[in-house]
């Protein structure tokens, strides 16, 4: 089996990528992916795959991340079903051309925006929500009428194999394909001339993707990460706040979530109260020894385990641990860890943590939190816990982030009416709900005209009177148009 997989990997080189592209281009050129019926059939196929293979998905997620079953259902499987159902329900509406206002310059005419598929697109997925973050963009690509290749992450091999084994069984494989592999295979895929590349992962590889896309002027969506801050004011409902913070940090894939709170900012005076509340909540959720809890995912692999322990072991940082810090390499376990006032220039305060470590930064006044956030690259998410409406308004207007959530963590991405994506270093482009359809569509401007109303003034030979009228029309000056039409003042 391993040998067979090895062989498959060896075969997927530049030539294989080129021939796959040729095949998918032929399918796309046939026009079949554009029809509403084809799109619906594929989306139904994916919905059926998710329903029929639910147990296999749970197993794969457990193998890759020890992901607790409830977490697998809530944060991956149900979200995938919901994305599929949403697309099935609204697709007809999304596909309808949007009529827009006419213009005096083109009178008489009618205008519309037609959403057309981009063509053949590539989706490159990460390992942390390896099922959802692979299938969700694929749903968008299909809903928009594209042919699509999915490259799941090699860091989550069980989920990657799941896709390779089943996806093509449930959809039209002449238009939807899975390519497994690691950097070599991804590099071979990136040589091709895609109509869009949708990449989820870290910013370092994001730059490689963008550079490869630039060769063909291929547009990209980059769903990246960063350090998502969380401000806690002292006027909060402490119990609810602590539950939502602990759930968002440790109860969601052990902090291996792109929108996981990366660090907390609170006042010096309030920090001890908040820390106590978080410790109590940790114990309520995961017991006295979280290592034995079945409700906490493990670190994905030994590389990431080493990366995280290095963040903790930096000399100036280890003395700042005020809770947790235990680790067990064999079980890829690091206990929920809280640090207080780690130095600003430490690695943990400058790199995305992406794990169960939570530094707390203290400030004199909660308003000073904004300067801390604005001194770092724009985050994917920013959180504020406060009952102060004025602070909330200032937070929304002062902080630039991919998305924001007031008085909770992470759940903003469960609302399909909101776009999900980053800004600046946290990414470019967005998806979810209709935004997924739009991410994989081109908005084509279409103007319809008849042969009547052919105004001679637009054609040479030009005269001063024609010029006046054209200028007035272009500048939208009704007075100017009337003046030009009646020829006043005479020149
Ligand atoms: P990863 O290691 O699985 O990499 C993602 C994909 O990039 C994989 O498919 C991999 O094959 C490919 N890849 C890796 N190296 C490559 C190279 N040199 N050339 C071409 N392709 C390459 O995942 P990761 O990057 O470790 O994921 C974690 C990061 O992703 C974090 O920064 C996190 O914040 C971010 N993330 C963002 C979102 C989002 O929606 N914005 C979601 C999840 C994760």
Model confidence pLDDT, tens digit, residues 299-329: 999 999 999 999 999 999 999 999 999 999 9
Q: DSSP for 23-42? A: HHHHHHHHTGGGSHHHHHHH
**Which is nearest to 39 in space by CA: 432, 429, 436?**
436
Ranges of each domain in the chain: 2-224+434-443, 229-421, 455-491
Q: Ligand 1 centre from 379 Cα, in Å? A: 16
- 223 Cβ closer than 6 Å to some ligand 1 atom: yes
Q: Is the dihedral of CA 435, 437, 443, 446 positive or negative?
A: negative
Beta bridge partners of 359: 339
Question: Whose CA is closest to atom 8 on ligand 1?
Answer: 153
The answer to whether the peptide bond before residue 461 is cis (omega within 30 degrees of 0) is yes
- Between these two residues, 490 and 235, which has the higher pLDDT value? 235
Q: How many CB atoms lie within 10 A of CB 363?
A: 17
Q: Which residue has the tokens 């009428």?
A: 145
Identify any residues that bridge with 230 across adjacent strands, giving them in sequence order: 264, 383
Q: Which of 123, 126, 189, 305 to mutate to test the pocket of ligand 1 (most atoms within 8 A of CB)?
A: 126
Q: Which of 222-226, 247-251, 471-475 is predicted with the least confidence, judged by mean pLDDT? A: 471-475
Alpha carbon of 222 to ligand 1 centroid (Å): 10
The two structure tokens encoding residue 90: 């609204």
Q: Say what percent of the chain tops pLDDT 90.
A: 88
Span 106-153, pLDDT tens digits? 889 999 999 999 999 999 999 999 999 999 999 999 999 999 999 999
pLDDT, one tens digit per residue, over 146-199 is: 999 999 999 999 999 999 999 999 999 999 999 999 999 999 999 999 999 999
**With a 6 A CB cut-off, is 208 part of the ligand 1 pocket?**
yes
Predicted confidence (pLDDT) at residue 7 exceeds the cutoff of 50:
no
State the pLDDT confidence band at 455, using cuts at 50, 70 and 90.
confident
Measured in Å, residue 451 CA sits from the centre of ligand 1 at 54
Q: Residue 205: CB within 6 Å of ligand 1?
A: yes
Entry field: residues in the chain = 491
pLDDT digits (tens, 9 = 90+) for 456-469: 888 999 999 889 88
Architecture of domain 229-421: 3-Layer(aba) Sandwich (3.40)
Q: Which residues are catalytic?
A: 223, 258
Predicted local confidence at residue 489, as pLDDT: 67
The CATH number given to 2-224+434-443 is 3.40.605.10
């Amino acid at each position: 089996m391993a040998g067979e997989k090895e062989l498959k990997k060896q075969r997927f080189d530049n030539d294989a990528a080129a021939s796959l592209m040729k095949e998918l281009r032929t399918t796309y050129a046939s026009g079949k992916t554009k029809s509403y019926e084809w799109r619906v059939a594929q989306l139904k196929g994916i919905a059926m795959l998710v329903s029929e293979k639910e147990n296999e998905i749970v197993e794969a997620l457990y193998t890759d991340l020890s992901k607790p079953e409830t977490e697998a259902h809530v944060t991956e499987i149900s979200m995938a079903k919901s994305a599929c159902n949403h697309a099935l329900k609204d697709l007809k509406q999304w596909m309808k051309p949007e009529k827009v206002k006419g213009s005096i310059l083109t009178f008489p005419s009618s205008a519309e925006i037609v959403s057309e598929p981009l063509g053949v697109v590539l989706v490159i997925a990460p390992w942390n929500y390896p099922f959802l973050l692979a299938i969700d963009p694929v749903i968008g690509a299909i809903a928009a009428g594209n042919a699509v290749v999915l490259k799941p992450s090699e860091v989550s091999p069980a989920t990657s194999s799941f896709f390779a084994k089943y996806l093509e069984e449930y959809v039209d494989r002449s238009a939807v394909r899975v390519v497994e592999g690691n950097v070599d295979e991804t590099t071979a895929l990136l040589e091709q001339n895609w109509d869009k590349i949708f990449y989820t992962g870290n910013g370092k590889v994001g730059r490689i993707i963008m550079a490869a896309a630039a060769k063909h002027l291929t547009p990209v969506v980059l769903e990246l990460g960063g350090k998502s801050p969380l401000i806690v004011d002292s006027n909060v409902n402490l119990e609810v706040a602590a539950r939502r913070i602990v759930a968002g940090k440790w109860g969601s894939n052990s902090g291996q979530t792109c929108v996981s709170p990366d660090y907390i900012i609170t006042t010096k005076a309030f920090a001890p109260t908040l820390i106590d509340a978080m410790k109590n909540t940790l114990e309520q959720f995961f017991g006295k020894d979280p290592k034995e809890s079945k409700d906490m995912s493990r670190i994905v692999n030994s590389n990431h385990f080493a990366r995280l322990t290095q963040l903790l072991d930096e000399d100036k940082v280890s003395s700042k641990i005020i809770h947790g810090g235990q680790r067990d390499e064999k079980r890829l376990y690091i206990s929920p860890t809280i640090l207080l006032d780690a130095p600003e220039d430490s690695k943990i305060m400058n790199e995305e943590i992406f794990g169960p470590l939570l530094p707390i930064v203290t400030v004199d006044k909660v308003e000073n939190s904004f300067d801390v956030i604005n001194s770092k690259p724009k985050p994917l998410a920013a959180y504020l816990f406060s009952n102060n409406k004025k602070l909330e308004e200032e937070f929304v207007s002062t902080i630039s982030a991919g998305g924001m959530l007031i008085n909770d963590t992470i759940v903003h991405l469960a609302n399909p009416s909101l776009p999900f994506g980053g800004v600046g270093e946290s990414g470019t482009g967005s998806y979810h709900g209709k935004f997924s359809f739009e991410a994989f569509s081109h908005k084509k401007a279409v103007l319809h005209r008849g042969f009547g109303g052919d105004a001679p003034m637009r054609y040479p030979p030009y005269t001063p009177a024609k010029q006046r009228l054209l200028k007035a029309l272009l500048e939208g000056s009704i007075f100017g148009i009337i003046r030009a039409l009646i020829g006043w003042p005479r020149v």
